[in-house]
Homo-oligomer: A and B are copies of this chain.
Amino acid sequence: MFESAELGHRVDKRSYDKRVPVLRYELLEAQLQIQAKSEFPVIVLLCGEDGSGRGDIVNLLLEWMDPRHVRVHPSGLPTPGEKERPPMWRFWRALPPKGKTGMFFGGLYDQAIEDRVYGRTGRAELARQLVEIVRFERMLVDEGALVIKVWLHLTKKVQRRRFEKLESSPATSWRVTKRDWQHHRRYQRFREVSEGALHETSTPEAPWIVVEASDDRFRNLTIGETLRDAMRARLDRGRREVPARAPPPRPAAIDGRNVLEELDLSKSVSQAQYDKRLPLLQGRLNALARHKRFKDIAVVIAFEGNDAAGKGGTIRRVTRALDARYYDVVPIAAPTEEERAQPYLWRFWRHIPKLGHFALFDRSWYGRVLVERVEGLAAEADWTRAYREIVDFEDSLSRSRIVVLKFWLSISQEEQLARFRAREKTPFKRFKITPDDWRNRKKWPAYERAVCDMVDRTSTAVAPWHLIEANDKKWARIRVLETIGDSIENALRR
Protein backbone atom coordinates (compact mmCIF):
# COMPACT_ATOMS: atom_id res chain seq x y z
CA MET A 1 0.00 0.00 0.00
CA PHE A 2 2.80 2.41 0.80
CA GLU A 3 5.21 1.39 -1.97
CA SER A 4 4.74 4.49 -4.10
CA ALA A 5 4.69 6.80 -1.11
CA GLU A 6 8.20 6.10 0.13
CA LEU A 7 10.16 7.30 -2.85
CA GLY A 8 10.98 10.78 -1.60
CA HIS A 9 8.67 12.52 -4.08
CA ARG A 10 9.41 16.22 -4.48
CA VAL A 11 8.17 19.22 -6.41
CA ASP A 12 10.48 22.21 -6.88
CA LYS A 13 9.38 25.68 -5.93
CA ARG A 14 9.24 27.02 -9.46
CA SER A 15 6.83 24.48 -10.87
CA TYR A 16 4.80 24.63 -7.66
CA ASP A 17 4.34 28.35 -7.99
CA LYS A 18 3.37 27.91 -11.60
CA ARG A 19 0.83 25.15 -11.01
CA VAL A 20 -0.89 26.38 -7.89
CA PRO A 21 -2.79 29.34 -9.39
CA VAL A 22 -4.25 27.13 -12.13
CA LEU A 23 -5.17 24.44 -9.65
CA ARG A 24 -6.88 26.92 -7.34
CA TYR A 25 -8.98 28.24 -10.16
CA GLU A 26 -10.00 24.73 -11.23
CA LEU A 27 -10.74 23.57 -7.71
CA LEU A 28 -12.90 26.58 -7.06
CA GLU A 29 -14.76 26.11 -10.29
CA ALA A 30 -15.51 22.45 -9.57
CA GLN A 31 -16.62 23.36 -6.07
CA LEU A 32 -18.97 26.08 -7.28
CA GLN A 33 -20.52 23.77 -9.85
CA ILE A 34 -21.15 21.19 -7.14
CA GLN A 35 -22.66 23.89 -4.96
CA ALA A 36 -24.85 25.17 -7.78
CA LYS A 37 -26.20 21.72 -8.63
CA SER A 38 -26.53 20.58 -5.02
CA GLU A 39 -26.98 17.00 -6.13
CA PHE A 40 -24.36 15.34 -3.95
CA PRO A 41 -22.08 16.10 -1.00
CA VAL A 42 -18.29 15.77 -1.03
CA ILE A 43 -16.77 13.91 1.88
CA VAL A 44 -13.01 14.17 2.25
CA LEU A 45 -11.36 11.94 4.78
CA LEU A 46 -7.81 12.85 5.78
CA CYS A 47 -5.90 10.16 7.61
CA GLY A 48 -2.26 9.29 8.02
CA GLU A 49 0.71 9.18 10.29
CA ASP A 50 1.35 11.86 12.91
CA GLY A 51 3.39 14.70 11.55
CA SER A 52 2.15 14.28 8.00
CA GLY A 53 0.57 17.71 8.09
CA ARG A 54 -3.13 17.00 7.97
CA GLY A 55 -3.86 20.30 9.66
CA ASP A 56 -1.72 22.24 7.21
CA ILE A 57 -3.49 20.61 4.29
CA VAL A 58 -6.90 21.50 5.62
CA ASN A 59 -5.87 25.12 6.17
CA LEU A 60 -4.52 25.26 2.67
CA LEU A 61 -7.62 23.74 1.11
CA LEU A 62 -9.78 26.23 2.99
CA GLU A 63 -7.64 28.94 1.43
CA TRP A 64 -7.84 27.44 -2.05
CA MET A 65 -11.55 26.70 -2.00
CA ASP A 66 -14.58 28.72 -0.98
CA PRO A 67 -14.58 28.14 2.78
CA ARG A 68 -18.26 29.01 3.13
CA HIS A 69 -19.16 25.66 1.59
CA VAL A 70 -16.65 23.57 3.51
CA ARG A 71 -16.93 22.32 7.06
CA VAL A 72 -13.99 20.84 8.90
CA HIS A 73 -14.38 18.18 11.56
CA PRO A 74 -11.33 17.56 13.70
CA SER A 75 -11.22 14.15 15.33
CA GLY A 76 -10.07 14.66 18.89
CA LEU A 77 -11.86 13.32 21.90
CA PRO A 78 -15.63 13.04 21.77
CA THR A 79 -17.62 15.79 23.47
CA PRO A 80 -19.75 14.85 26.50
CA GLY A 81 -22.83 14.71 24.24
CA GLU A 82 -21.00 12.43 21.84
CA LYS A 83 -19.67 10.18 24.55
CA GLU A 84 -23.22 9.33 25.57
CA ARG A 85 -24.19 8.19 22.09
CA PRO A 86 -23.06 5.46 19.68
CA PRO A 87 -19.64 6.14 18.09
CA MET A 88 -21.25 6.56 14.65
CA TRP A 89 -23.49 9.35 15.89
CA ARG A 90 -20.94 12.12 15.58
CA PHE A 91 -20.22 11.21 11.97
CA TRP A 92 -23.86 11.19 11.05
CA ARG A 93 -24.30 14.56 12.70
CA ALA A 94 -21.34 15.98 10.83
CA LEU A 95 -22.24 14.80 7.31
CA PRO A 96 -22.31 17.67 4.83
CA PRO A 97 -25.57 18.29 2.96
CA LYS A 98 -25.73 17.99 -0.83
CA GLY A 99 -23.66 20.64 -2.54
CA LYS A 100 -21.31 21.10 0.42
CA THR A 101 -17.97 19.63 1.40
CA GLY A 102 -17.06 18.05 4.72
CA MET A 103 -13.46 17.38 5.69
CA PHE A 104 -12.84 14.81 8.38
CA PHE A 105 -9.61 14.18 10.23
CA GLY A 106 -9.00 10.57 10.99
CA GLY A 107 -12.64 9.63 10.89
CA LEU A 108 -13.40 6.31 12.45
CA TYR A 109 -10.05 4.97 11.32
CA ASP A 110 -7.73 6.78 13.73
CA GLN A 111 -9.37 5.38 16.82
CA ALA A 112 -9.76 1.87 15.39
CA ILE A 113 -6.09 1.69 14.39
CA GLU A 114 -4.79 3.18 17.63
CA ASP A 115 -6.93 0.87 19.77
CA ARG A 116 -5.50 -2.11 17.92
CA VAL A 117 -1.89 -0.92 18.12
CA TYR A 118 -2.13 -0.46 21.87
CA GLY A 119 -3.86 -3.82 22.25
CA ARG A 120 -7.09 -2.28 23.53
CA THR A 121 -8.95 -4.27 20.87
CA GLY A 122 -8.28 -7.69 19.40
CA ARG A 123 -8.01 -8.69 15.77
CA ALA A 124 -11.67 -9.71 15.63
CA GLU A 125 -12.94 -6.42 17.02
CA LEU A 126 -10.85 -4.43 14.54
CA ALA A 127 -12.22 -6.56 11.72
CA ARG A 128 -15.76 -5.89 12.91
CA GLN A 129 -15.13 -2.16 13.09
CA LEU A 130 -13.70 -2.12 9.58
CA VAL A 131 -16.72 -4.00 8.22
CA GLU A 132 -18.94 -1.41 9.87
CA ILE A 133 -16.93 1.39 8.25
CA VAL A 134 -17.04 -0.26 4.83
CA ARG A 135 -20.82 -0.59 5.03
CA PHE A 136 -21.14 3.00 6.19
CA GLU A 137 -19.08 4.24 3.27
CA ARG A 138 -20.98 2.05 0.83
CA MET A 139 -24.21 3.57 2.11
CA LEU A 140 -22.81 7.08 1.57
CA VAL A 141 -21.87 6.26 -2.02
CA ASP A 142 -25.24 4.56 -2.60
CA GLU A 143 -26.82 7.79 -1.41
CA GLY A 144 -24.85 9.65 -4.06
CA ALA A 145 -21.96 11.09 -2.04
CA LEU A 146 -18.49 11.56 -3.46
CA VAL A 147 -16.18 9.97 -0.90
CA ILE A 148 -12.46 10.76 -1.16
CA LYS A 149 -10.15 9.01 1.28
CA VAL A 150 -6.61 10.32 1.48
CA TRP A 151 -3.86 8.70 3.53
CA LEU A 152 -0.83 10.91 4.16
CA HIS A 153 2.22 8.72 4.54
CA LEU A 154 5.60 9.30 6.15
CA THR A 155 8.47 6.92 6.75
CA LYS A 156 9.70 6.54 10.30
CA LYS A 157 12.86 8.47 9.51
CA VAL A 158 11.02 11.42 8.03
CA GLN A 159 8.58 11.41 10.93
CA ARG A 160 11.41 11.67 13.42
CA ARG A 161 13.05 14.46 11.44
CA ARG A 162 9.73 16.33 11.36
CA PHE A 163 9.25 16.09 15.10
CA GLU A 164 12.82 17.17 15.78
CA LYS A 165 12.54 20.15 13.48
CA LEU A 166 9.29 21.27 15.08
CA GLU A 167 10.77 20.89 18.54
CA SER A 168 13.86 22.89 17.66
CA SER A 169 11.89 26.12 17.38
CA PRO A 170 9.99 27.63 20.30
CA ALA A 171 7.30 28.76 17.86
CA THR A 172 6.41 25.21 16.88
CA SER A 173 7.67 22.97 19.66
CA TRP A 174 4.20 22.86 21.24
CA ARG A 175 2.97 20.97 18.21
CA VAL A 176 4.92 17.85 19.19
CA THR A 177 3.37 16.08 22.15
CA LYS A 178 4.48 13.24 24.35
CA ARG A 179 1.86 11.15 22.63
CA ASP A 180 3.46 11.82 19.24
CA TRP A 181 6.76 10.36 20.44
CA GLN A 182 4.92 7.45 22.01
CA HIS A 183 3.32 6.70 18.66
CA HIS A 184 6.66 7.18 16.93
CA ARG A 185 8.22 4.43 19.00
CA ARG A 186 5.46 2.13 17.79
CA TYR A 187 5.82 3.28 14.18
CA GLN A 188 6.34 -0.22 12.78
CA ARG A 189 3.26 -1.58 14.49
CA PHE A 190 1.18 1.41 13.36
CA ARG A 191 2.37 0.80 9.84
CA GLU A 192 1.38 -2.87 9.89
CA VAL A 193 -2.05 -2.25 11.35
CA SER A 194 -2.70 0.71 9.06
CA GLU A 195 -1.66 -1.18 5.96
CA GLY A 196 -4.00 -4.03 6.83
CA ALA A 197 -6.85 -1.64 7.53
CA LEU A 198 -6.26 0.21 4.26
CA HIS A 199 -6.41 -3.01 2.24
CA GLU A 200 -9.53 -4.09 4.06
CA THR A 201 -11.31 -0.79 3.35
CA SER A 202 -10.08 0.00 -0.14
CA THR A 203 -13.36 -0.74 -1.87
CA PRO A 204 -14.31 -0.10 -5.49
CA GLU A 205 -16.69 2.61 -4.32
CA ALA A 206 -14.28 4.36 -1.95
CA PRO A 207 -10.63 3.42 -2.57
CA TRP A 208 -7.75 4.87 -0.58
CA ILE A 209 -5.43 7.38 -2.14
CA VAL A 210 -2.03 7.19 -0.48
CA VAL A 211 0.07 10.35 -0.74
CA GLU A 212 3.67 10.73 0.34
CA ALA A 213 3.81 13.62 2.78
CA SER A 214 7.52 14.21 3.23
CA ASP A 215 7.66 17.12 0.79
CA ASP A 216 5.00 19.79 1.47
CA ARG A 217 4.77 20.99 -2.10
CA PHE A 218 4.35 17.51 -3.47
CA ARG A 219 1.74 16.70 -0.85
CA ASN A 220 -0.26 19.88 -1.40
CA LEU A 221 -0.30 19.70 -5.18
CA THR A 222 -1.14 16.00 -5.21
CA ILE A 223 -4.06 16.34 -2.85
CA GLY A 224 -5.37 19.43 -4.61
CA GLU A 225 -5.25 17.76 -8.01
CA THR A 226 -6.75 14.55 -6.67
CA LEU A 227 -9.69 16.49 -5.26
CA ARG A 228 -10.13 18.43 -8.46
CA ASP A 229 -10.11 15.28 -10.63
CA ALA A 230 -12.49 13.41 -8.36
CA MET A 231 -14.94 16.31 -8.25
CA ARG A 232 -14.84 16.73 -12.00
CA ALA A 233 -15.33 13.02 -12.63
CA ARG A 234 -18.30 12.96 -10.30
CA LEU A 235 -19.83 16.02 -11.97
CA ASP A 236 -19.42 14.38 -15.37
CA ARG A 237 -21.13 11.22 -14.20
CA GLY A 238 -24.20 13.22 -13.25
CA ARG A 239 -27.26 11.57 -11.85
CA ARG A 240 -26.82 8.20 -13.52
CA GLU A 241 -29.15 5.91 -11.71
CA VAL A 242 -27.78 2.72 -10.27
CA PRO A 243 -29.99 -0.24 -11.23
CA ALA A 244 -31.32 -2.58 -8.56
CA ARG A 245 -29.01 -5.58 -8.31
CA ALA A 246 -31.56 -8.23 -7.41
CA PRO A 247 -35.28 -8.74 -7.68
CA PRO A 248 -37.32 -7.52 -4.71
CA PRO A 249 -38.02 -9.92 -1.86
CA ARG A 250 -40.07 -13.00 -2.59
CA PRO A 251 -43.72 -12.54 -3.47
CA ALA A 252 -46.52 -12.89 -0.98
CA ALA A 253 -46.99 -16.47 0.18
CA ILE A 254 -48.99 -18.43 -2.37
CA ASP A 255 -51.53 -19.54 0.19
CA GLY A 256 -52.21 -15.90 1.04
CA ARG A 257 -51.32 -16.31 4.70
CA ASN A 258 -48.94 -13.95 6.43
CA VAL A 259 -47.84 -12.81 9.87
CA LEU A 260 -50.48 -10.09 9.96
CA GLU A 261 -53.37 -12.38 9.10
CA GLU A 262 -52.29 -14.71 11.86
CA LEU A 263 -52.95 -12.07 14.48
CA ASP A 264 -56.11 -12.59 16.47
CA LEU A 265 -57.53 -9.09 16.23
CA SER A 266 -60.48 -9.98 18.43
CA LYS A 267 -58.22 -9.87 21.47
CA SER A 268 -59.52 -7.35 23.93
CA VAL A 269 -59.50 -6.31 27.52
CA SER A 270 -62.43 -5.09 29.60
CA GLN A 271 -62.63 -1.52 30.80
CA ALA A 272 -62.32 -2.71 34.39
CA GLN A 273 -59.20 -4.75 33.71
CA TYR A 274 -57.74 -1.88 31.70
CA ASP A 275 -58.36 0.63 34.46
CA LYS A 276 -56.59 -1.65 36.88
CA ARG A 277 -53.65 -2.74 34.70
CA LEU A 278 -52.77 0.55 33.05
CA PRO A 279 -51.70 2.49 36.16
CA LEU A 280 -49.75 -0.53 37.39
CA LEU A 281 -47.80 -0.80 34.14
CA GLN A 282 -47.20 2.93 34.02
CA GLY A 283 -45.96 2.86 37.59
CA ARG A 284 -43.60 0.00 36.77
CA LEU A 285 -42.22 1.87 33.75
CA ASN A 286 -41.73 4.98 35.83
CA ALA A 287 -39.82 3.03 38.43
CA LEU A 288 -37.63 1.43 35.76
CA ALA A 289 -36.81 4.82 34.26
CA ARG A 290 -35.67 5.97 37.67
CA HIS A 291 -33.63 2.82 38.34
CA LYS A 292 -30.07 3.66 39.31
CA ARG A 293 -28.67 1.78 36.32
CA PHE A 294 -31.03 3.34 33.81
CA LYS A 295 -28.48 6.12 33.27
CA ASP A 296 -26.29 3.52 31.52
CA ILE A 297 -28.86 2.65 28.88
CA ALA A 298 -31.26 4.46 26.59
CA VAL A 299 -34.49 3.45 24.89
CA VAL A 300 -35.56 3.99 21.29
CA ILE A 301 -39.09 3.01 20.35
CA ALA A 302 -40.50 3.00 16.84
CA PHE A 303 -44.27 3.05 16.49
CA GLU A 304 -45.60 1.92 13.16
CA GLY A 305 -49.04 0.71 12.21
CA ASN A 306 -51.96 1.08 9.86
CA ASP A 307 -53.49 4.52 9.55
CA ALA A 308 -55.83 5.09 12.49
CA ALA A 309 -54.34 2.14 14.39
CA GLY A 310 -53.95 4.30 17.48
CA LYS A 311 -50.24 5.10 17.53
CA GLY A 312 -50.74 8.57 18.99
CA GLY A 313 -52.97 7.39 21.83
CA THR A 314 -50.59 4.58 22.69
CA ILE A 315 -47.60 6.90 22.71
CA ARG A 316 -49.41 9.22 25.11
CA ARG A 317 -50.08 6.33 27.50
CA VAL A 318 -46.36 5.62 27.50
CA THR A 319 -45.15 9.18 27.94
CA ARG A 320 -47.53 9.77 30.81
CA ALA A 321 -45.39 7.36 32.78
CA LEU A 322 -42.21 9.29 32.06
CA ASP A 323 -40.53 12.43 33.27
CA ALA A 324 -40.74 15.04 30.49
CA ARG A 325 -37.05 15.88 30.84
CA TYR A 326 -36.05 12.40 29.82
CA TYR A 327 -38.04 11.69 26.70
CA ASP A 328 -38.65 13.05 23.23
CA VAL A 329 -41.52 12.21 20.95
CA VAL A 330 -40.34 12.47 17.36
CA PRO A 331 -43.15 12.65 14.82
CA ILE A 332 -41.94 11.62 11.38
CA ALA A 333 -43.58 13.39 8.48
CA ALA A 334 -42.25 14.24 5.04
CA PRO A 335 -38.54 15.14 5.29
CA THR A 336 -37.56 18.80 5.50
CA GLU A 337 -35.35 20.41 2.93
CA GLU A 338 -32.38 20.00 5.23
CA GLU A 339 -33.16 16.33 5.66
CA ARG A 340 -33.60 15.70 1.95
CA ALA A 341 -30.03 16.93 1.46
CA GLN A 342 -28.73 14.07 3.61
CA PRO A 343 -28.59 10.27 3.50
CA TYR A 344 -31.88 8.66 4.39
CA LEU A 345 -31.06 7.60 7.95
CA TRP A 346 -29.62 11.00 8.90
CA ARG A 347 -32.89 12.40 10.17
CA PHE A 348 -33.26 9.51 12.59
CA TRP A 349 -29.69 9.54 13.80
CA ARG A 350 -30.09 13.17 14.81
CA HIS A 351 -32.78 12.18 17.31
CA ILE A 352 -30.92 9.34 18.98
CA PRO A 353 -31.23 9.93 22.72
CA LYS A 354 -28.44 10.35 25.22
CA LEU A 355 -27.96 7.63 27.81
CA GLY A 356 -30.70 7.71 30.42
CA HIS A 357 -33.21 9.05 27.89
CA PHE A 358 -36.11 7.84 25.75
CA ALA A 359 -36.94 8.65 22.15
CA LEU A 360 -40.37 7.65 20.86
CA PHE A 361 -40.74 7.77 17.11
CA ASP A 362 -44.27 8.25 15.77
CA ARG A 363 -43.54 6.52 12.46
CA SER A 364 -39.88 5.87 11.86
CA TRP A 365 -37.00 4.86 9.57
CA TYR A 366 -39.25 2.08 8.31
CA GLY A 367 -40.98 4.63 6.09
CA ARG A 368 -38.54 3.77 3.34
CA VAL A 369 -39.61 0.13 3.13
CA LEU A 370 -43.30 0.93 3.76
CA VAL A 371 -44.79 4.09 2.28
CA GLU A 372 -41.82 4.98 0.08
CA ARG A 373 -41.71 1.48 -1.35
CA VAL A 374 -45.45 1.17 -1.94
CA GLU A 375 -45.94 4.68 -3.31
CA GLY A 376 -42.85 4.44 -5.51
CA LEU A 377 -41.19 7.37 -3.71
CA ALA A 378 -37.92 5.46 -3.43
CA ALA A 379 -36.19 3.65 -6.29
CA GLU A 380 -36.13 -0.14 -6.01
CA ALA A 381 -32.35 -0.10 -5.63
CA ASP A 382 -32.74 2.25 -2.67
CA TRP A 383 -35.44 0.54 -0.67
CA THR A 384 -34.00 -2.92 -1.21
CA ARG A 385 -30.68 -1.86 0.30
CA ALA A 386 -32.51 -0.13 3.17
CA TYR A 387 -33.22 -3.43 4.98
CA ARG A 388 -29.52 -4.05 5.40
CA GLU A 389 -28.82 -0.46 6.42
CA ILE A 390 -31.61 -0.48 8.98
CA VAL A 391 -30.33 -3.70 10.55
CA ASP A 392 -26.86 -2.10 10.75
CA PHE A 393 -28.36 1.05 12.26
CA GLU A 394 -30.20 -0.82 14.98
CA ASP A 395 -27.12 -2.97 15.61
CA SER A 396 -25.06 0.17 16.21
CA LEU A 397 -27.64 1.39 18.67
CA SER A 398 -27.92 -1.81 20.59
CA ARG A 399 -24.15 -2.25 20.77
CA SER A 400 -24.14 1.09 22.57
CA ARG A 401 -26.62 -0.19 25.13
CA ILE A 402 -29.68 1.36 23.54
CA VAL A 403 -32.80 -0.77 23.84
CA VAL A 404 -34.51 -0.79 20.44
CA LEU A 405 -38.24 -1.56 20.42
CA LYS A 406 -40.39 -1.75 17.33
CA PHE A 407 -44.17 -1.97 17.40
CA TRP A 408 -46.52 -2.62 14.53
CA LEU A 409 -50.07 -1.76 15.60
CA SER A 410 -52.34 -3.84 13.44
CA ILE A 411 -56.03 -3.27 12.76
CA SER A 412 -58.43 -4.86 10.29
CA GLN A 413 -59.70 -3.14 7.18
CA GLU A 414 -63.20 -3.00 8.67
CA GLU A 415 -61.99 -1.45 11.89
CA GLN A 416 -60.05 1.14 9.93
CA LEU A 417 -63.13 2.03 7.92
CA ALA A 418 -65.15 2.46 11.09
CA ARG A 419 -62.48 4.70 12.59
CA PHE A 420 -62.16 6.82 9.43
CA ARG A 421 -65.93 7.37 9.40
CA ALA A 422 -65.95 8.25 13.08
CA ARG A 423 -63.19 10.77 12.51
CA GLU A 424 -65.11 12.42 9.73
CA LYS A 425 -68.11 12.78 11.97
CA THR A 426 -66.31 14.13 15.00
CA PRO A 427 -65.45 17.77 14.33
CA PHE A 428 -62.34 17.84 16.54
CA LYS A 429 -60.99 14.70 14.95
CA ARG A 430 -61.62 15.69 11.37
CA PHE A 431 -58.06 16.98 10.91
CA LYS A 432 -56.88 13.45 11.45
CA ILE A 433 -58.38 12.15 8.23
CA THR A 434 -57.15 13.24 4.80
CA PRO A 435 -57.70 12.15 1.21
CA ASP A 436 -54.33 10.40 1.53
CA ASP A 437 -55.77 8.08 4.12
CA TRP A 438 -58.51 6.95 1.76
CA ARG A 439 -56.01 6.53 -1.04
CA ASN A 440 -53.63 4.45 1.07
CA ARG A 441 -56.51 2.27 2.06
CA LYS A 442 -56.94 1.14 -1.53
CA LYS A 443 -53.38 -0.17 -1.48
CA TRP A 444 -54.00 -2.38 1.54
CA PRO A 445 -52.54 -5.57 -0.04
CA ALA A 446 -49.38 -3.79 -1.17
CA TYR A 447 -48.88 -2.33 2.29
CA GLU A 448 -49.53 -5.70 3.86
CA ARG A 449 -46.85 -7.30 1.73
CA ALA A 450 -44.41 -4.52 2.58
CA VAL A 451 -45.07 -5.01 6.30
CA CYS A 452 -44.45 -8.75 6.07
CA ASP A 453 -41.18 -8.26 4.17
CA MET A 454 -40.16 -5.68 6.74
CA VAL A 455 -40.82 -8.03 9.64
CA ASP A 456 -38.94 -10.89 7.97
CA ARG A 457 -35.92 -8.86 7.01
CA THR A 458 -35.48 -6.60 10.02
CA SER A 459 -36.61 -8.64 12.99
CA THR A 460 -33.34 -9.45 14.71
CA ALA A 461 -32.35 -10.92 18.04
CA VAL A 462 -31.39 -7.48 19.36
CA ALA A 463 -34.35 -5.64 17.85
CA PRO A 464 -37.32 -7.92 17.19
CA TRP A 465 -40.61 -6.68 15.81
CA HIS A 466 -43.60 -6.73 18.15
CA LEU A 467 -46.83 -7.18 16.25
CA ILE A 468 -49.68 -5.81 18.35
CA GLU A 469 -53.35 -6.62 17.89
CA ALA A 470 -54.92 -3.17 17.95
CA ASN A 471 -58.58 -3.50 17.02
CA ASP A 472 -59.10 -3.01 20.73
CA LYS A 473 -57.14 0.07 21.68
CA LYS A 474 -57.00 -0.83 25.32
CA TRP A 475 -55.50 -4.23 24.56
CA ALA A 476 -52.86 -2.62 22.35
CA ARG A 477 -51.84 -0.12 25.00
CA ILE A 478 -51.53 -2.77 27.68
CA ARG A 479 -49.43 -5.01 25.40
CA VAL A 480 -47.12 -2.16 24.43
CA LEU A 481 -46.57 -1.08 28.01
CA GLU A 482 -45.93 -4.65 29.10
CA THR A 483 -43.39 -5.17 26.31
CA ILE A 484 -41.54 -1.95 27.05
CA GLY A 485 -41.36 -2.82 30.72
CA ASP A 486 -40.11 -6.34 30.08
CA SER A 487 -37.44 -5.17 27.63
CA ILE A 488 -36.06 -2.50 29.92
CA GLU A 489 -36.03 -4.91 32.82
CA ASN A 490 -34.04 -7.33 30.71
CA ALA A 491 -31.58 -4.66 29.67
CA LEU A 492 -31.03 -3.53 33.26
CA ARG A 493 -30.32 -7.07 34.30
CA ARG A 494 -27.48 -7.40 31.79
Contacts and interface: CB of A to CB of B under 8 A. Distances in A.
A258 B202 CA distance: 21
Given A3-B456, A388-B203, A9 B226 contact: no
A199 interface: yes
B460 A199 contact: yes
Contact of A4 (B221, B391, B456): B456
A192 interface: yes
Given A237-B243, A459-B3, A255 B196 contact: no
B456 A259 contact: no
Interface string A241-282: 011111101110111011100100000000000000000000
A56 to B, nearest CB: 18
A423 to B, nearest CB: 31
A70 interface: no
A67 interface: no
A176 interface: no
Given A9-B257, A124-B123, A251 B237 contact: no
A476 interface: no
A140 to B, nearest CB: 11
Contacts of A262: 7
A246 B141 contact: yes
A206 to B, nearest CB: 6
Contacts of A212: 253
Contacts of A350: none
A225 interface: yes
A210 B455 CA distance: 12
B4 A205 contact: no
Contacts of A381: 204
A192 B284 CA distance: 31
A207 B457 contact: yes
Contacts of A237: 243
Given A131-B131, A459-B1, A226 B251 contact: yes
Interface residues of A, number: 75
Counted per complex, copies of this chain come to 2
Given A123-B124, A202-B387, A222 B250 contact: yes
Contacts of A123: 124
Which of the listed residues A2, A199, A461 has the most CB atoms from chain B within 10 Å of its own CB? A199
Contact of A205 (B2, B246, B251, B387): B246
A147 B245 CA distance: 10
Contacts of A131: 127, 131
Contacts of A128: 124, 127
A229 B249 CA distance: 11
Interface string A1-44: 11111011111000000010000000000000000000000000
Contact of A457 (B202, B249, B452, B460): B202
Given A3-B465, A131-B131, A211-B250, 10 more contacts: A1-B456, A1-B457, A7-B258, A7-B259, A123-B124, A141-B246, A205-B246, A207-B384, A209-B250, A225-B251
Interface of A: 1-5, 7-11, 19, 122-125, 127-128, 131, 141, 147, 192, 195-196, 199, 202-207, 209-212, 218, 221-222, 225-226, 229-230, 233-234, 237, 240, 242-247, 249-251, 253-255, 257-259, 262, 381, 384-385, 387-388, 391, 452, 455-457, 459-461, 465
Closest 4 CB pairs of A and B: A124-B124, A205-B245, A204-B385, A233-B247
